[in-house]
Amino acid sequence: MPSVTVEDYLKQIYLEQQSAPGGLVSMGRLAEVMHVVPGTATAMVKSLAESGLVSYEPRSGVRLSRGGERLALGVVRRHRLVELFLVRTLGMDWSEVHDEAERLEHAISDKVLPAIDRTLGYPQFDPHGDPIPPAHGRPAATSAGALVSLSDCRAGDQVRVSRIMDQDAAFLQFADRHGLTPGTTLTVDANDTVADALTVRDGDGRSLTLGASAAGKIQVEPG
Amino acid sequence: MPSVTVEDYLKQIYLEQQSAPGGLVSMGRLAEVMHVVPGTATAMVKSLAESGLVSYEPRSGVRLSRGGERLALGVVRRHRLVELFLVRTLGMDWSEVHDEAERLEHAISDKVLPAIDRTLGYPQFDPHGDPIPPAHGRPAATSAGALVSLSDCRAGDQVRVSRIMDQDAAFLQFADRHGLTPGTTLTVDANDTVADALTVRDGDGRSLTLGASAAGKIQVEPG
DNA sequence: GTTGCGACTTTGACTAATCAAAATCAACAA
DNA sequence: TTGTTGATTTTGATTAGTCAAAGTCGCAAC
């Protein structure tokens, strides 16, 4: 059994790898997301490499091995299923489930997880629109159709919110309050690159203006 | 935040204290239930005493302080609510939830627990008939009416099963298969102290013979 | 080329939790 | 009293995970 710490390192390496050049994660970046000093990350990664869970090239970076990826996907799967379960079955708030899942993902066994999965009807996406890795095998290449960032949309575009790429409670509460949840359809009214602001309108005609960095966290499906 | 280890020690001291002479738990007993060598228990208890969570008299035993009891009750409450939740909401088997709850009890926050409690309708007993401590204050003196051990009943007694004092999966599966679950009404047909065997009959007339030690694990309410 | 800087790695030290084994104590029997 | 015994405590060592701070490396700028 990998320790909670090992599971967390593998998960973070997996998540960083998704958006890393060459799928190689630097020690600095890993240390940052793990909230440890760089020396600690180096030491841990060395021991993960000895266990065959990652391949590590000093002064270059770390990447998951096949086995490491398998474990990481398991953690991510537990995390995302738990998030959805907390929202759907226990009626908890979208904005607070991330932190809860952060602890529960390490305590859910292979007996409990299938029960949760069944209760939820074998879902494919968590409340933020992040794909839930399948129990066996690799996740589907891209979740479903090519997603683009809302900040890349132009005035007149009609889009469907697919994924919120931020786990910060304040941002999620804001998004929830203004209907920026996966599944919502929006029309882009304006995207002023000079002012760095983007205005969208929802089905009820309510409009909302976002800064570029906020809009950048919202992934949409064109259509 | 107390560590998982500290929570486990406090919980076990609490549980042992319930059935200990003078509410004082010996190091040998504590080491046994914690599956550590006695020296480890001594060291841990010393540090718990320094944190004010227990009072410790060397070569005599340990007992929870007010604060230690508060924490222990929290752990027990989480454990028992989780057990019931796994059975009722996730449809898991009575016999397997104890081990699951053993890990989950440390990962359930004060945000998740009330949601579970609400979902279950503020229950008072877990699937084994053990009382669930209230969120605040001490638990009620005795669960509900005086319970006696099934092994102390005499032929002719009519009793209601209230509590199963064993967490072993094999025993619980056996109990479940034969309807020995909290709430079932039984009639004692015979209690042969020489043969060490006790025979009961359920509402459908099916009878079952138990050894004295098995019967001793079943607490019933006379009536 | 050399120099500097920033990222990375190493080293030494610390804490929590554990075990093995030696030392100690309390209590009972002779 | 004096042993003896079994439980308990102490001591010394180990492992996982961490930090602070010193040392090293690679690369871009000059």
What does the pLDDT look like over A102-134, one tens digit per residue? 999 999 999 999 999 999 999 999 999 999 999
Q: Which pairs with CB-CB distance under 8 Å and at least 24 residues apart come from A49-54?
A: A53/A2, A53/A6, A53/A10, A54/A10, A54/A13
Residue B112, sorted as left (phi over 0), alpha (psi -120 to 50) or beta, turns out to be alpha
User: Is the C-beta atom of A46 closer than 7 angstroms to strand C?
Assistant: yes
Query: Which of A196-200, B2-6, B65-69, B132-136 has the least mean pLDDT?
Result: A196-200
Provide residues 30-49 of A with CB closer than 7 Å to any strand D atom.
Answer: 34-40, 43-44, 47
Q: Residue at minimal CA–C1' distance from D11?
A: B39
The pLDDT score that the predictor gives to residue B110 is 97
Element (H, E) at B190: strand B185-192
Distance, CA of B57 to C1' of D7, in Å: 14
Q: In the structure, how far is the CA atom of residue A43 from the C1' atom of nucleotide D14, in angstroms?
A: 18
pTM of structure = 0.92
Please tell me whether residue B216 adopts helix, strand or coil conformation: helix
Q: Chain-wide mean pLDDT for chain A?
A: 93
Q: Is the pLDDT of residue A142 over 90?
A: no
Cβ separation A100–B112 shorter than 8 A: yes
Q: How far apart are CA A33 and CA A15, in angstroms?
A: 10
Residue A17: band (very low, low, confident or very high) from pLDDT cuts 50, 70, 90: very high
* B 60-79: CB within 7 Å of strand D: 60-61
How far is it, in rounded angstroms, from Cα A168 to Cα B132?
34
Q: Is the CB of B1 under 7 A from strand C?
A: no
Q: How far apart are CA A88 and CA B118, in angstroms?
A: 14
C-alpha to C-alpha distance for B164 and B222, rounded to whole angstroms: 15
**Mean confidence (pLDDT) of chain B:** 94
pLDDT of residue A223: 77
- Check A86 against B119: CB less than 8 A apart: no
Of A89, A106, A111, the CB nearest to B107: A106
Please give the pLDDT value at position B203.
87
Contact A129, A162 (CB under 8 A): yes
From CA A5, how far away is CA A19, in angstroms rounded?
Answer: 22
Give strand D nucleotides closer than 7 A to any protein Cβ: 7-12, 16-22, 25-26
B77 CA to chain A: closest CA distance, Å? Answer: 17
pLDDT of residue A141: 63
The residues near B55 (Cβ < 8 Å, ≥ 6 apart) are B49, B62, B63, B65
Structure tokens at B154: 């005499």
Can you say how many angstroms the Cα of residue B60 is from the centroid of all Cα atoms in its chain? 25
pLDDT band of residue B145 (cuts 50, 70, 90) is low
CA nearest to A203, candidates A219, A217, A183: A183
Exposure pattern of B83-99 as b/e (b: 16+ CB <10 Å)?
Answer: bbbbbebbebebbbbbe
**Residue B26, CB, strand D, below 7 Å:** yes
Of B96, B115, B119, the CB nearest to A111: B96
Task: Return the bridge partners of A197, or none.
Answer: A192, A211
* DSSP of B82-131: HHHHHHHTS---TTTHHHHHHHHTTT--TTHHHHHHHHHTS-SB-TTSPB
Task: Give, in order, the Cα–Cα distances in Å from B209 to each of A182, A193, B189.
Answer: 59, 82, 9
